[in-house]
Structure 1
Amino acid sequence: MTDRVLTGDRPTGPLHLGHYFGTLRNRVELQRQGADMVVIVADYQVLTDRDVAERLRETVDGLLLDYLAAGLDPEATTVFAHSAVPALNQLLLPFLSLVSVPELQRNPTVKDEIQHSRQSSVSGLMFTYPVHQAADILFCKGNLVPVGQDQMPHIEITRTVARRFNERYGPVFPLPEGLLSVAPVLPGTDGRKMSKSRGNAIALSATPDETARLIRGATTDADRHITFDPGLRPGVSGLVQLVALCQDRDPHEVAAEIGDAGAAALKRTATDAVNEFLAPMRERRAAYAKDLGAVREVLRRGNERANELADQTLAEVRAAMGTVY
């Protein structure tokens, strides 16, 4: 049986190199291996920690361009928008009846998201976030979900929902497995985890000059000798790791090669490595950006297929529950 992989992103801003090495590269590889890739543009989920979703059309266009530039093939991968698939969201009602409030309260990922929320109080949307993700995964009967370790509790909630539905109403859903990423956490230009919200990210859409400026401003230290020691030298080591990932090399080898040449040489090396690595993506992105109508057509076609999958699953759910009148 062909694996069906469900993954996706919230359209909250440009994807960056951390996203690429953490998830996008794996998606392209799974696509190459023949997996049925279903990628969600989780526009509703933007509202979990924001009062409004600003400039959403522009952000979604940018996300689609990032996907295509990174190598996702619209002929082999289904890309769809959360808000465009009513039957997916209708699954929430029966799914919410299958989990308890204490189970949601104990979810460590939700706890962390609530703690870092921009909102003054917790919305019902944020509180039920794991059940939304269960609907995202189960509507298409996804059986593999690439996640980081911190997202595994969401997979467990999804498995709980699927198992309880099957026990109560009959076998409809597979029990999905989390596909753990082995990619390292990529530090940003300040040595902390690369993140849009921290302003330390190098976007996949950054120009060569923007990339050079961001790397010139990266945090380093006073020791001229370059080594790879993430614990003691996060800034320097982050740049070394960036070079190593872009050139598919060992970071210790990169550091030894620069040696006593200092932080300025490290930054020049990192700038050249990143710009060379991003060059083909920039070329593909520029080509796609010339026709946003065709890019939006990718999403429209993906929405059509996602609706077909969701309608079929909802019909099975209604039949199992005895709500076909």
Structure 2
Amino acid sequence: MTTTSDAPPDDSSDALADSTSDASLARSIARSAQIGKDLETDPGQFRMLTGDRPTGHLHLGHYFGSLRNRVALQDKGVETFVLIADYQVITDRDGVDHMRERVFSLLADYLALGLDPARTTIFTHSQIPALNQLMLPFLSLVTDSELRRNPTVKAEQEATGGRPMSGLMLTYPVHQAADILFCKANVVPVGKDQLPHLEQTRVVARRFDERYGRAGDRSAPVFPQPDALLSEVPNLLGTDGTKMSKSKGNVIELRMSADETARAIKKAVTDSDRHITYDPASRPEVANLVLLASLTTGRDPHTIAEEIGDGGSGGLKKLVTEAVNEHLAPVRARRGELEADPAHLRAVLAEGNGRADAVAQATIAEVREAMQMVYA
């Protein structure tokens, strides 16, 4: 497999510090645009890694933000790895309640939406020992100060008000690097705010090869330096008008029934102006519902708003409910079939874990050879 990175070598510390600069962002945008073009002509050169934490059930934000795109990339011919990050749940949580249920709920959603286990490797952290073993050499390549500069780690520090974080939370960026590099993924779908995370992975890959390289041939890197595939994620709000979040209970889950969806949309926040317009800046709650109708019907949001006109929030919510339920009907039907066959879900996950483990074993063997730790 070929690497997509053509960036020249640079100082790793400077690269980390520079990862949020305007120049770095411009480079990432340009590189992502080129990847987009390459995907149309030669998708087979790419290996993609993405995934989710099983902290709750998937919802429309996940669907429009990333899930649809994963299926599209798979269907283009990109080799795809999807991680159910069960170990990452315990980075910032004290327990693992309902873990098994949520893992299989994610899997059912993935399959119902169109991820094909014959073409996409779906696996869980906890079942791939060789992936997690990469943490040890990778941790030797980063400093404490670099980890603390990571946006996720910084946000956790601020959110806890100075309460000591777990060692796993502190080393989360390195675990993320292991997730990406164990399968030698060379493209990772991310938002612009996640570019520093990917830069940390690029730094780990670069430092490993600078320090160890391949025994006898340091010109052939062990790891690619993965690139970002940037996408414009729709800015969907929760039904209460704030940021969509599973913990707030303001989401529309993919697994909901048509009636549950209708009740959730009926409670959605709007405003007092009866005339419906699409104005995200001045009327964010109304615009959010119009956008949801647009995303599920493929129609222009301004046209939708004009057609509703003086129909008010009642007319808007009725249209959104019908659009969402119609759009998700085949997904929900397929999901019901999958949930009725738990043995099939277990078999799919076992097969994915087996494939991922074989890839991880091959990678850790290369790592041991590069580090001169082969003794048999």
Report the aligned-residue RMSD. 1.3
Matching residue's letter, 1:4: R
The equivalent residue for 1:262 is 312
Distance 2:305 2:277 in 1: 5
The equivalent residue for 2:130 is 87
The equivalent residue for 1:130 is 173
The alpha carbon displacement at 1:107 in A equals 1.2
The alpha carbon displacement at 1:90 in A equals 0.4
Query: 1:139 aligned to 2:182?
Result: yes
Matching residue's letter, 1:324: V
Distance 1:185 1:19 in 2: 11
From 301, 308, 332, the equivalent of 1:282 is 332
The equivalent residue for 1:59 is 102
SS in 1 for 2:247: coil
The answer to whether the 8 Å contact 2:276/2:313 transfers is: yes
Query: 1:246 aligned to 2:296?
Result: yes
Moved over 4 A (4+): 117-120
Distance 1:103 1:120 in 2: 19
TM-score (norm 1): 0.97
Distance 1:263 1:249 in 2: 19
The equivalent residue for 1:7 is 50
The answer to whether the 8 Å contact 2:58/2:253 transfers is: yes
- Which range is displaced more, 245-254 or 92-101? 245-254
- CA 1:117–1:24: 2 relative to 1, 3 Å: farther
The answer to whether the 8 Å contact 1:5/1:35 transfers is: yes
From 257, 271, 276, the equivalent of 1:226 is 276
The alpha carbon displacement at 1:169 in A equals 0.8
The answer to whether the 8 Å contact 2:191/2:233 transfers is: no
Matching residue's letter, 1:266: L
The answer to whether the 8 Å contact 2:157/2:163 transfers is: no
The answer to whether the 8 Å contact 1:50/1:118 transfers is: no
Query: 1:311 aligned to 2:354?
Result: no
Distance 1:271 1:250 in 2: 17
CA deviations 1:91-113 (Å, max 9, x no partner) are 00000000111111111232123
- CA 1:316–1:102: 2 relative to 1, 3 Å: same
CA deviations 1:163-206 (Å, max 9, x no partner) are 00011111200000111121212112122232211211000001
> Which stretches in structure 1 are left out of the alignment for 5+ residues?
none
The alpha carbon displacement at 1:118 in A equals 10
Distance 1:52 1:120 in 2: 18
Aligned residues: 325
The equivalent residue for 1:151 is 194
The alpha carbon displacement at 1:270 in A equals 0.5
The answer to whether the 8 Å contact 2:294/2:304 transfers is: yes
